[in-house]
Structure 1
Amino acid sequence: MKFSHQLVLSSLAVFVLSACSGGANQRRQAKDDFAYLNTPALKELNLPQDAEPQFYPNYRIPQGEFAGGIGREVDIRPPQQILELIPGARTEHKQGETTLWLLREDEVDKVWQTALDMIEEQNIAIRQQTSTLIETDWVSWVAEDEDVELGARYQIDRAFAGGRHGFRISLVDWREGGKVMPVTATNKERYNALMTNLVTARYDLDLREEAARKAEQLVKSIQVTMGSDRSGFPVIIARSPYNVLWNRLPSILPAMGFTLEERNQSQGTIKAKYAAPGDEFWHDIGVKPSNLAPGTYTLLLGDLGNRTSINVTDSTGKPVEKQLLEDMVPVFAVIAEKQAQ
């Protein structure tokens, strides 16, 4: 059967310690040898006839038939964890299947579309598809901690229970080095998580790109006016969210004649040195020259929700006069508009 595509595990999907050395087996198996497999079977303890045995329950060996791998069959790699990249999503693991539960149907719609987009972009063939189910063809996994090329087929479906909307990924077929093998619980859990992380990482990337596009639109329609803070000192009010304005100031301020020296986003401070532009600058922007004296100034930004306040102080920490701020407002507005065009 033909491989539909080959996925190379990135840092978003699998974490491999750079300090590890050697082959894939050394990363999957214990460092020491497997001499413990040659341990003689336990024997019944023979006690003198009158002796009364006493045992600590801490070391009592559980009784029963236990199935599981031993020796080289044991995979010591830490289990894969689902990256919490979808706000409000809750992860459920059941019988090796991974389900993301969300509160709203439109959120699942977006995750579902993200999975479809990723499958199409990676050229993964689809064996079956309905409005609530996708069954993929073989997907090849290549990883440093695997000694052979792995193949997997997935079933992705939507679920609904208890007022919640779910997105479920389940590994249904498995092969190693081109040979079809039974799906083990370990492989099912590990490679379900990896595929889920690829989908959630792509979803997170799409959200951030959309936020960046919206931020760019907000900058294009930015409005700048005068206002006052709680103490009554004059401030500039930019009708733009704090994060949006913060990302734009490194390009706006130099165009106004400021040279940035220090920036601290958590404190909302920008230290910059001002040098008055020449007459050609003022003629080009169509604004009367500002009387702001050359020197070092500190801009203090305040987060007001959908607006941002800008307080300006001189090198001594004294707020600049109201008239100087009023002179800066039209310059700020014109530069921001020109850069958004």
Structure 2
Amino acid sequence: MSSIVLENVNKIYGDKTIIEGLNLTIESGSFTVLVGPSGCGKSTTLRMIAGLEEATGGSISIGGKSMNHVEPGKRNLAMVFQNYALYPTMSVEKNIEYGLKNNKVPKEERKRLVTEIAHTVGLTKHLHKKPEFLSGGERQRVALARAMVKKPAVFLMDEPLSNLDAKLRQQMRMELIELHKKLGATFVYVTHDQVEAMSMGTQIVLMDGGRIMQEDTPHAIYNTPRNLFTSRFIGTPPMNILELGASVSLHNGAPAGAKYVGFRPEKAKFAMEQGMENDHVLVLDAALDGRELLGSEVIYKAVLEDGRSVAVKCFDSPERALEPVKLYVKREHLFYFDEQEQCIPAASEAEVPAVPVPAAVGDTA
């Protein structure tokens, strides 16, 4: 059992509170991703789990045992860092073996473990090379192998792919997903990249200002954001947000207490679809002002009458001219948020009469 539980955890540096009253349960065997903007507290949380930072208050337990006064080396976990932290004068084999040697594991057992792990991560033919002769992806595999050889119950990873180029990052993401399946261990992964979070995690913990904004599966955090922060952070481009007011037609009304309405860029349509006549609730007059071609998809920048803009994402469709358009969004694809920026239930067809909507809040394109 390798579940991790944080209860009322605080972290204070001088007079600055980084984490306050954090409560989080990371299930045994999960691939949990801590994601959020720089300075949100995700790396600090990881380092407190590792024992590299001491919590100012609260408790941290792993596998049901308190870790509050347990040294990092005795927590049955391994950490993979952003800079790999390899020994430049040692071969790949010696780098992987180093921790075992320190723990006085017999030579034959060390050799067996290193051979086994090297095969698992595809390093067999590189065992006698030094790090300077390896690519970025190979160095990352060495760092992973060095962690794996300890056979820990928990793997902690702090932005381990951020130094790799885009193509290699994508490849390593797939390898880490497969590695997690093979090992069955608990993975806790920190990143600021929402694509990494959404593609790798079985559970996502979205943080901001030392607080958890939403903890959910990738599917739920995208399709049912609980607040404006989540809706704006998750998604490429992020959700379009409009403040209720006076400029665009909103049919069938909005729920009581709604201040904002939002929709995902891919849910906006340029024409009313069959059967949509009595179903659409949001109509926007806009002019297409720019486009980004991304192979099978096109992202348009649509400027509203007051100069604000929204994003529209289209898949496998002909490129459109940059001209005035009407945008239609079905009722079922709208999200509403109150003055405290929390998501509230959508209006039903029997709700109040039409409420006007002004322009988009911020330029999301």
TM bucket, shorter chain = under 0.3
More helix by share: 1
Bigger relative CO (Cα 8 Å, ≥ 6 apart): 2
Structure number with greater Rg is: 1
TM-score (norm 1): 0.28
